[in-house]
């Protein structure tokens, strides 16, 4: 039969109300949910049984929580269509610090299905949320990634495709290097590894796995788009802001002036960049999914970047505190057979240690980035060489 048509995306339907009022209304819903949760905890019987009166009150509280969740979904305008519009109410909340706080707390309190709907809307225009760098924005970023990790691959593909379209329209590799986008893509790539491993170890001809394999095939098409987007743009787009570190103030001012002429960007629209270590982790995850042919295409560019000392993740932070090794960076050094540059002099001396012996930075690494097997093992090359 014909597929049922999805309901049209809902548009901003509260035009007569101010955004601040709507945020406050959402906050009131959150407070009521938290009050109900406190009551539910108080009514829970740790002994495993309860008297009839307490059980009745418990059921009433559960029904009340369900009602309050419905009210919050209505306040966020996520209760109807799964296809958000470009002027969705949630996207307008991105301009308000308290609006982003509301979204963060909502992700923590909503059930899984509603959380998924909310994250789909947030990432429908991730650019709006990738511009902010407060403590709440860091927490929102982590909450979005946690929600992504709990989603099935089918829904993740919807978000993956949306991010691909946004990357194409928003500057390609420079958009991907934003902290929010980088973190989300890491989760998506990790999820695909989990699914690929499950399919590789599953018995053949199981209908459920056959459907999952089709979903994985669709995921790979989107992955190939991202791979093409990064190819040739790592130095000029992906790592641009990292390479700027240490530039003179005059050079930075001149570059900002040139950006305004070409992109018409202003300081308040500059995306919050991902940490250098996270960029390497994302690249490692991308490479781990690649075929031999794709890796060969990247080889000259990666070997060049891996020898740039300014791009090497330091073994200590700005205060001289030792950091865990960047497994993604070490993994790429292995894959592309490139020795990393020695750490800068201030790191060797200020950290109170001696420079590592040649090859020590990559010795003893048994696998790739977190959750990834070594290259060529565990089904890490799902597409054969030349298949793309």
Task: Chunk the chain into consecutive blocks of 10 residues (it has 388) and report each block's average pLDDT, rounded to whole numbers.
Answer: 46 61 93 92 69 81 93 84 80 94 96 93 95 95 96 94 92 90 96 91 81 92 91 82 62 53 47 90 93 91 86 69 78 87 54 41 40 44 39
- Number of other CB atoms surrounding residue 324 within 10 Å: 7
Q: Are 293 and 387 contacting, i.e. CB atoms less than 8 angstroms apart?
A: yes
Radius of gyration (C-alpha) of the chain in whole angstroms: 24
Report d(CA 226, CA 45) in Å as an integer: 51
3-state secondary structure 167-231: HHHCCCHHHHCEHHHHHHHHHHHHHHHHHHHHHHHCCCCCHHHHHHHHHHHHHHHHHHHHHHHHC
Closest CA to 243 of 279, 271, 267: 279
Enter the DSSP assignment of 28.
Answer: H
Residue 123 confidence (pLDDT): 96
Q: Which pLDDT does position 103 carry in this prediction?
A: 97
For residues 128 and 144, the answer to whether their CB atoms sit within 8 Å is no
Residue 23 is predicted with a pLDDT of 93
Task: Give the rounded distance of the alpha carbon of 11 from its chain centre.
Answer: 26
For residue 78, how many other CB atoms are within 10 A of its CB? Answer: 25
CA geometry: angle 310, 313, 315, nearest 5 deg: 120
Which residues contact residue 331 at a Cβ distance below 8 angstroms, ignoring those fewer than 6 apart? 284, 287, 288, 365, 367, 368, 369, 372, 375
CA distance 13 to 199: 44
Spatial CA neighbour of 223 closest among 269, 169, 308, 164: 164
- Return the closest-CA partner of residue 89 out of 151, 143, 25, 38: 25
Helix (H, G, I), strand (E, B) or coil at 273: strand
Cα 70 to the chain's mean position, in Å?
Answer: 27
C-alpha 13: how far from chain center: 29
Nearest in space to 116 (alpha carbons), one of 158, 75, 178: 158
Would you tell me how many other CB atoms lie within 10 Å of the CB of residue 69? 20
Give the per-residue pLDDT at 46.
Answer: 64
CB count, 10 Å around CB of 77? Answer: 21
Nearest to 198 by CA among 382, 376, 374, 327: 382
CA–centroid distance for 387 within its chain: 28
Q: Measuring CA to CA, which residue among 124, 91, 100 is closest to residue 26? A: 100
Provide the CA 303 distance to its chain's centre, in angstroms. 26
pTM over 0.85: no
CA atoms within 13 A on the CB side of 8: 3
Closest CA to 68 of 14, 111, 97: 111
Task: Supply the pLDDT for residue 237.
Answer: 80
Mention every residue, 6+ apart, whose C-beta is less than 8 A from residue 209. 199, 202, 203
C-beta neighbour count of 378 within 10 angstroms: 17
């Amino acid at each position: 039969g014909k597929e049922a048509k999805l309901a049209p995306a809902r548009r901003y339907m509260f035009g007569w109300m101010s955004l601040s009022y709507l945020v406050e209304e959402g906050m009131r819903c959150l407070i009521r949910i938290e009050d109900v949760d406190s009551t539910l905890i108080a009514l829970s019987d740790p002994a495993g049984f309860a008297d009839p009166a307490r059980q009745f009150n418990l059921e009433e509280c559960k029904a009340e929580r369900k009602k309050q969740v419905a009210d919050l979904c209505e306040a966020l305008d996520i209760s109807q269509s799964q296809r958000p519009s470009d002027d969705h109410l949630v996207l307008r909340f991105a301009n308000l610090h308290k609006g982003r706080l509301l979204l963060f707390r909502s992700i923590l309190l909503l059930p899984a299905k509603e959380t998924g709907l909310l994250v789909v809307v947030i990432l429908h225009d991730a650019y709006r949320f990738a511009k902010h760098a407060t403590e709440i924005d860091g927490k929102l970023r982590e909450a979005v990634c946690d929600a992504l990790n709990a989603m099935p691959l089918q829904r993740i593909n919807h978000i993956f495709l949306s991010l691909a379209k946004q990357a194409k329209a928003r500057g390609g590799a420079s958009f991907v290097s934003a902290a929010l986008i980088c973190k989300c893509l890491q989760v998506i790539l990790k999820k695909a590894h989990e699914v690929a491993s499950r399919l590789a170890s599953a018995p053949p001809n199981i209908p459920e796995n056959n459907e999952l394999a089709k979903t994985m095939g669709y995921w790979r098409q989107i992955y190939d788009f991202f791979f093409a987007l990064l190819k040739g743009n790592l130095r000029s787009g992906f790592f641009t802001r990292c390479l700027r570190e240490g530039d003179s103030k005059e050079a930075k001012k001149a570059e900002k002036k040139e950006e305004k002429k070409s992109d018409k960007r202003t300081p308040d629209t500059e995306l919050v960049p991902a940490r250098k270590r996270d960029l390497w982790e994302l690249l490692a995850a991308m490479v781990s999914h690649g075929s031999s042919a794709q890796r060969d295409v990247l080889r000259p560019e990666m070997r060049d970047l891996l020898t740039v000392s300014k791009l090497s993740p330091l073994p200590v932070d700005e205060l001289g505190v030792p950091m865990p090794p960047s497994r993604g960076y070490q993994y790429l050094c292995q894959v592309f057979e490139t020795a990393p540059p020695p750490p800068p002099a201030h790191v060797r001396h200020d950290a109170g240690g001696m420079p590592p012996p040649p090859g020590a930075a990559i010795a003893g690494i048994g696998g790739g980035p977190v959750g990834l097997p070594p290259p060529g093992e565990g089904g890490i090359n799902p597409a054969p060489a030349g298949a793309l």
